[in-house]
Amino acid sequence: MTNKEKARERREKRMQEISLLRTIPYSDHQRWWSSDNVAVVTGSNRGIGLEIARQLASHGLTVVLTARNVNAGVEAVTSLRHQEEGLKVDFHQLDVTDSSSIKEFGCWIKQTFGGLDILVNNAGVNYNLGSDNSVEFAETVVSTNYHGTKNMIKAMIPLMRPSPQGARIVNVSSRLGRVYGRRNRLANVELRDQLSNPDSLTEELIDRTVSTFIDQVKDGTWESGGWPQTFTDYSMSKLAVNAYTRMMAKELSTRQEGEKIYVNSFCPGWVKTAMTGFAGNMSPEDAADTGVWLSLVLSQEAVTGKFFAERREINF
């Protein structure tokens, strides 16, 4: 059996385990939440985001589904309500690349619910499929996947409600954005070290890194810049998300008990959604599981600033 076949076998076995875990209900002592708790899922009118919203609502939370397109969002909420009676799902328009849209959304959340308890940053784009590696839309990819996530976090933190269990921020990311990934790492060793060291990690460093990449895309020198070789623009955006996750976790860790906010990211895998041209090897149900799990059960261990896949911590 080849290494590739062994890896596939291990993945399939783990996916079977995940499917089983999803069928086991949380016990009463694990359930810190009720319908009074509000979870916001960005970009959730389809795919992984929609499935995360569905699973969180099925667990009894009030879920706010968001989408750029109003009709698509309303249709998604209607579909969820038809699938399962009693789900508490609401919709509000949101474009994470538009600062005024984020601000208006925040005002609506505060007026409607008084705040939120869980933020799942799922909104994202990728214009490459298969073996494609075009950077034609690099600015849009970085703006949506990284800056959109960052700006939502900044806007929602003041609205996250204090609780003994702590509020949660979950960022949908990718293994393609690992600093020390075997096949997709940055060529610049010094930059890798800076981005992986919590003591040297700053927002300015992350922003400068993605800005340098975008500048090289514009002047046509990106191919010699030592950037990731697979899905380069998408990988860079997710590398930035992973770094920002770690940076924010450290910053928020100084908060007092009762006001804690735990921040983690996860890789859902290669999923059968529109983003992959439905060519993935995982169902949205299994792919969403780790995001839901991070949203609900990790507060007791105070896990923050980590990166997960299939409910297991992996390296950044």
Q: Which domains are present in the chain? A: 26-130+146-177+245-313 (3.40.50.720)
In tens, the pLDDT along 230-275 reads 999 999 999 999 999 999 999 999 999 999 999 999 999 865 555 5
Q: Taking the complete model, does pTM exceed 0.85, yes or no?
A: yes
30 Cβ contact partners less than 8 Å away, ≥ 6 residues apart: 296, 297
Interstrand relation of 62-67 and 88-93 (parallel, antiparallel or unpaired)? parallel
Q: Which residues are catalytic?
A: 234
pLDDT tens digit string along 6-17?
A: 877 887 888 788
Buried (b) or exposed (e) across 237-259, using 16+ Cβ within 10 A?
A: bbbbbbbbbbbbbeebeeeeeee
Tens of pLDDT along the chain (316 residues)?
888 888 778 878 887 887 888 888 888 888 999 999 999 999 999 999 999 999 999 999 999 999 999 999 999 999 999 988 899 999 999 999 999 999 999 999 999 999 999 999 999 999 998 889 999 999 999 999 999 999 999 999 999 999 999 999 999 999 999 998 887 899 999 999 999 998 899 999 999 999 999 999 999 999 999 999 999 999 999 999 999 999 999 999 999 999 999 999 999 986 555 555 555 557 888 889 999 999 998 655 669 999 999 899 999 8
Q: How far apart are CA 309 and CA 271, in angstroms?
A: 13
Residue with tokens 């705040």: 115
Q: Give CA angle at 243 (290, 145), nearest 5°.
A: 70
Please give the span between the terminal C-alpha atoms of the chain, in angstroms, as a whole number. 29
In the sheet where 118-121 sits, what is the strand order? Answer: 88-93, 62-67, 38-41, 118-121, 167-172, 261-266, 307-309, 312-314
